[in-house]
Amino acid sequence: MSECIFCKIVKGELKAYKIYENNECIAFLDINPINPGHTLVVPKKHVENILEADNDTISAVFTAVREVSKLLINKLGASGINIIHNAGRAANQEIMHFHVHVIPRYDPEDIGLVDWWRRNIKKLNLEEIYRRIIS
């Protein structure tokens, strides 16, 4: 998939704030975060979504999701995590490469899961958040 933005990140052709990597997956900060530390976990091999992925890929992705979740809680002080996967255009999947959103939640927050996309937050300093996570 030469035009897939996530494949380009996996290959190192595009810059990303990578916070986790293993043999099967990488995780990097979302460039349009809902909260500080909002991370995408992506398998290194191209597959469109969970419906197309084999069991080994699904297992690898969710193992990485767990490790990233722990990292965000430990490094950023998150008090909870939302884990979201959008499968297909009808579910608002924008990039057709399997990925899982790991979204740290902080107490107290005045925003619920249902209306979070309406949140108008200032552009977060990804470099600062990245340094906090990898330190």
State pLDDT tens for residues 21-78: 999 999 999 988 888 999 999 999 999 999 999 999 999 999 999 999 999 999 999 9
Rounded to an integer, the average pLDDT of 9-22 is 96
Active-site residue, from 38, 85, 97, 99: 99
Compute φ and ψ for 108, nearest 5 degrees: -85, 145
Can you count the helices (H) and strands (E) in the chain? 3, 5
State pLDDT tens for residues 96-117: 999 999 999 988 765 665 555 5
pTM as predicted? 0.86
Tell me the CATH architecture of domain 5-127: 2-Layer Sandwich (3.30)
Residues paired with residue 77 on neighbouring β-strands, in sequence order: none
Query: Would you list the domain boundaries of the chain?
Result: 5-127
Neighbours of 98 (CB within 10 A): 25
Annotation says 99 is catalytic: yes
State pLDDT tens for residues 86-97: 999 998 899 999
* pLDDT given for residue 10 in this prediction: 96
